[in-house]
Structures are given as structure tokens and as C-alpha cells.
């Protein structure tokens, strides 16, 4: 019997299973054993001693005169009762202790398998529950195995296996077996009755929790992170707000000489992080979201949620950003579709007016480009192919031809 109890005790020691659950599982397993042998467990007591780690089985029957036993499950003759304890009398209850050996080796092995199976179920339920409660928390683990589509990590705190899918990794992430990895617990799923814990390094929650760790004012509730948008490994924008006028939320997040933000940037593979002050003034919020560009003027259309932003010529490329990252993130952060326009009619010395290309580009195409604020070659080239197609309604092939013609001018 001790083998079975020890099997459970060993498991319980490392898995934080509560005492009532331990008692219930052991009792269920042994009552199943009794039912298989005796047909019923109605007249049996299963006593689990969690302090000592042992267990007792007792058969309880009413004592009747010899020859008057009508149901041997609930009754025992006086002569049989006296063979158990010579002090028994008719009318009393006879308590007979059972021993595991009485059930036979095969039944004991089956009970042990049932117990192990129940233990594994409890372990899975426990893992699912504990990690479900920790969704959004940062976890640190060691790379255990590298697969084609995912990396298996052993949680440094619990030893449980976690999964970091490739599509939840930052571009530039490269891990070897034994490396320590940080990520955020994104979700917990049950697959084939097994809990699967998914960890992410690209989720906005990861950046938010890293900021929480580095900036005490966020953890203390003095600064609130209103919204985070990311292009993992490239750029992120974080809108923060403070309810205390004495605290500068942007300065607190960045730290002295960038001390607080530098560690996060390194963790995120040199992802550029723009921290901006949140405000309900939508024009001002758009202006701040386009940092590092300096905006001259903004026209808002609240019905279509579109913003026309006017900048000096040297600020246009800053507003758009490499590959359009800055303007895309600013749009996500503010909820506005942002279009940028040059704020001057002057043509730069190293720029060329679109009218100069009248021999190569048809006039209706030049007019379409002028309608979206592009009146010089560089103002067109500053916009991405996708943005030109979207804003001008020109065909993709037409836009490609125009870009080729304009680019060749500056190559020469």
C-alpha cells in the first residue's frame, strides 16, 4: 500500500497539490479497487493520513448470529467476527482491516496506473491554471530545444516547458541551446489534453512589462501607459500619461541620459522606442506621434478620421520614416489615417518641378500628383509606392513608371 501512497506523496511534494485534492484522489482510487473486488464500497471506510503519508482500509459489517447472514456485504456472523477480535458481540459493528496484498498483484498494478494517470491530469490542470493566471507576465527561461517553427524553453522558476513560436520572435533574435530568454506569457491553450504555454517577444504586452520593470512610477501607478504600437525589432511608439503634474512621464520613462530605456532597446534588438505624452487634443497628439518630425500645421476630418499634416520639406522624410514605419505607427497610435504634405511652394535647389517632366509624364498624371501635394520630383520620391497608389488613385504600373523617371533625374 505504501508504494501507492508514496507515488502520490512524491508528486504532491513538487506540484503544490492541496491536501483535500490529495485525499480525494487517493480515496477514489482505493474505492475503485474495493468495488472491483467486493462489488460495492458502501460498507468500507478509506482513511487517508496526510501527516504520516499512509492510508487505512476498513470493512464495516453488522454482527449477526451464526446462520442468519442474509447479505455478506453488510453482515458478518458472530463466529467470523470473533476470529477478527474476541471481544465482539452480536449487534455490534465489526471493523476488519484490509491489506493491499488481499487484492492481488494485478489489481494493485492497475490501481497504481490509475493513480499515476490521475496525478498527470492534476499536474496538467495545475499547470493550465497557474499559467492562465499569469498571462501578461514576463517569464525568464532557458532554451531547451530549437525546432523549425518554435523554440522550447524551460521556465527558470518552475521548470515547466514553454513554447516561443518563430512568429512571436523579434527579427534579429538568434538563440542557442542554453541561452536565457525573456518573453511575455501571451496565452495558454489545451491541445490533446495537454496545456501549451505560448510566450511572445513581439506582443505589445512585452514592451509594457519591460517598461514596468524599469520605471517604478509605472508600477506605482503614477504613470499610465495608454497605448503601445510596435513593429517588432524596428520601431515602437508608446503613449504615456501622468496624473501628477510634478511628474514628466516621458522623462521618467526615458531616464537620465536614456538610462531606463537603453536596457529595453537592447532587449528588443535595438528597436527604436518613441515615448510621447498622451493628450485628448487630437491635433497635438498626432503632432507628438510623428516625432521626430516637426509638424507645421494639421487639418483633421473627424468623420473619415483622416489627418492632413503639413511639414517643411526637410521634415517629410522624418515623418514618413524608413519604409514608412514612422507614419504607419503614428496612424495606429492615434487612430487617424495620416497623409503628409510639403508646406512650401518653393522648389529646393536640388529638386525639380514636376512640370519639367511634361515631355515624359502625361499632364493628367502630373495633375493627380499635384492634387495630393506633390509638386516636385523629391516630394513624390519621399512617398512610398503604396502610399502614392492609395492617395493618387493611379495604377501601380503608372506609379512605377513615374518613380523610375524621377529617380533617373537624380542619378544623372
C-alpha distance from residue 262 to each of 53, 269, 274, 280 (Å): 53, 11, 12, 29
Adjacent-strand bridge partners of 236: 230, 273
State the cell numbers at 286.
498626432
pLDDT of residue 348: 46
Same domain, 302 and 379: no
Same domain, 194 and 217: no
pLDDT of residue 379: 84
CATH number at residue 183: 2.40.50.140
Q: How many domains, the chain?
A: 4
362: left (phi over 0), alpha (psi -120 to 50) or beta: beta
**141 closest CA partner among 174, 169, 166, 177:** 177
Same domain, 212 and 329: yes
Tell me if the bond preceding 292 is cis, omega within 30° of 0.
Answer: yes
Indicate whether 162 belongs to any domain: yes
CATH number at residue 335: 3.30.300.20
102 secondary structure, DSSP code: G
Indicate whether 345 belongs to any domain: no
Same domain, 196 and 222: no
pLDDT of residue 4: 53
State the cell numbers at 338.
495620416
Examine the fold and report which residue of 284, 311, 339 is the final residue of a domain before the chain moves on: 339
Same domain, 249 and 320: yes
- Residue 240 burial (CB count, 10 A): 23
State the cell numbers at 244.
501628477
Indicate whether 106 belongs to any domain: yes
Same domain, 81 and 34: yes
pLDDT of residue 346: 47
What three-state secondary structure class fits 269?
Answer: coil
Same domain, 58 and 96: yes
- pTM for the full predicted model: 0.66
Name the one residue in this structure whose C-alpha cell is 483633421.
300
pLDDT of residue 347: 42
The secondary element (H helix, E strand) that includes residue 64 is strand 54-64
Examine the fold and report which residue of 304, 339, 374 is the final residue of a domain before the chain moves on: 339
C-alpha distance from residue 221 to each of 69, 204, 216, 244 (Å): 75, 19, 9, 10
As a whole number of angstroms, the distance between CA 139 and CA 200 comes to: 10
Indicate whether 115 belongs to any domain: yes
What three-state secondary structure class fits 170?
Answer: coil
Name the one residue in this structure whose C-alpha cell is 497623409.
339
Tallying the residues shown for the chain, one arrives at 412
Crossing angle between the packed helical segments 2-15 and 105-132, to the nearest 10 degrees: 10
pLDDT of residue 108: 78
Indicate whether 241 belongs to any domain: yes
pLDDT of residue 412: 52
Examine the fold and report which residue of 105, 130, 155 is the final residue of a domain before the chain moves on: 130
Crossing angle between the packed helical segments 325-334 and 282-289, to the nearest 10 degrees: 150
Same domain, 376 and 306: no
As a whole number of angstroms, the distance between CA 337 and CA 305 comes to: 6
Beta-strand ranges (E) seen in 156-279 are 161-165, 180-191, 194-200, 223-231, 235-242, 272-277
Same domain, 217 and 314: yes
Name the one residue in this structure whose C-alpha cell is 514618413.
320
Indicate whether 165 belongs to any domain: yes
Indicate whether 348 belongs to any domain: no
Indicate whether 346 belongs to any domain: no
DSSP codes of every residue in 277-343: E--S-HHHHHHHHTTTSPEEEEEEETTTTEEEEEE-HHHHHHHH-GGGHHHHHHHHHHS-EEEEEE-
Contact 267, 182 (CB under 8 A): yes
Same domain, 215 and 321: yes
The secondary element (H helix, E strand) that includes residue 37 is helix 19-38
Same domain, 292 and 277: yes
Adjacent-strand bridge partners of 65: none
As a whole number of angstroms, the distance between CA 22 and CA 11 comes to: 10
Domain residue limits at 303: 205-339
Residues of the chain with pLDDT under 50: 1-2, 11, 14, 346-349
Amino acid at each position: 500500500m505504501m508504494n501507492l501512497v508514496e507515488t502520490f506523496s512524491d508528486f504532491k511534494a513538487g506540484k503544490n497539490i492541496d491536501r483535500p485534492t490529495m485525499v480525494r484522489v487517493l480515496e477514489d482510487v482505493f474505492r475503485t479497487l474495493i468495488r472491483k473486488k467486493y462489488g460495492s464500497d458502501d460498507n468500507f471506510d478509506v482513511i487517508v493520513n496526510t501527516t504520516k503519508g499512509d492510508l487505512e482500509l476498513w470493512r464495516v459489517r453488522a454482527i449477526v448470529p451464526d446462520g442468519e447472514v442474509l447479505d455478506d456485504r453488510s453482515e458478518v456472523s458472530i463466529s467470523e467476527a470473533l476470529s477478527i477480535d474476541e471481544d465482539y458481540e452480536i449487534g455490534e459493528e465489526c471493523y476488519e482491516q484490509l491489506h493491499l496484498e488481499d487484492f492481488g498483484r494485478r489489481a494493485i498494478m492497475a490501481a497504481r496506473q490509475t493513480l499515476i494517470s490521475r496525478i498527470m491530469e492534476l499536474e496538467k490542470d495545475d499547470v493550465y491554471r497557474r499559467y492562465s493566471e499569469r498571462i501578461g507576465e514576463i517569464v525568464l527561461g532557458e532554451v531547451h530545444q530549437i525546432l523549425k517553427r518554435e523554440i522550447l524553453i524551460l521556465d527558470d522558476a518552475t521548470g515547466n516547458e514553454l513554447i516561443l513560436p518563430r512568429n512571436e520572435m523579434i527579427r534579429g533574435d538568434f538563440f542557442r541551446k542554453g541561452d536565457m530568454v525573456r518573453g511575455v506569457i501571451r496565452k495558454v491553450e489545451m491541445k490533446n489534453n495537454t496545456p501549451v504555454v505560448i510566450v511572445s517577444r513581439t506582443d505589445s504586452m512585452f514592451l509594457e512589462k519591460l517598461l514596468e520593470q524599469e520605471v517604478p512610477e509605472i508600477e506605482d501607478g503614477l504613470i499610465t501607459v495608454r497605448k503601445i504600437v510596435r513593429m517588432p525589432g524596428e520601431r515602437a511608439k508608446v503613449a504615456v500619461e501622468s496624473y501628477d503634474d510634478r511628474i514628466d512621464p516621458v522623462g521618467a520613462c526615458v531616464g537620465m541620459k536614456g538610462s531606463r530605456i537603453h536596457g529595453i532597446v537592447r532587449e528588443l534588438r535595438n528597436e527604436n522606442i518613441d515615448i510621447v505624452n498622451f493628450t485628448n487634443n487630437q491635433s497635438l497628439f498626432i503632432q507628438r506621434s510623428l516625432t521626430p518630425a516637426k509638424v507645421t500645421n494639421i487639418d483633421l476630418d473627424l468623420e473619415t478620421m483622416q489627418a492632413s499634416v503639413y511639414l517643411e520639406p526637410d521634415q517629410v522624410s522624418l515623418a514618413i520614416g524608413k519604409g514608412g514605419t514612422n507614419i504607419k505607427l503614428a496612424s495606429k497610435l492615434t487612430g487617424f489615417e495620416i497623409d503628409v504634405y510639403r508646406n512650401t511652394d518653393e522648389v529646393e535647389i536640388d529638386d525639380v518641378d514636376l512640370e519639367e517632366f511634361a515631355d515624359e509624364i502625361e499632364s493628367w498624371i502630373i495633375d493627380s500628383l499635384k492634387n495630393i501635394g506633390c509638386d516636385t520630383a523629391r516630394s513624390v520620391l519621399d512617398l512610398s509606392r503604396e502610399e502614392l497608389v492609395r492617395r493618387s488613385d493611379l495604377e501601380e504600373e503608372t506609379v512605377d513608371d513615374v518613380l523610375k523617371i524621377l529617380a533617373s533625374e537624380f542619378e544623372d
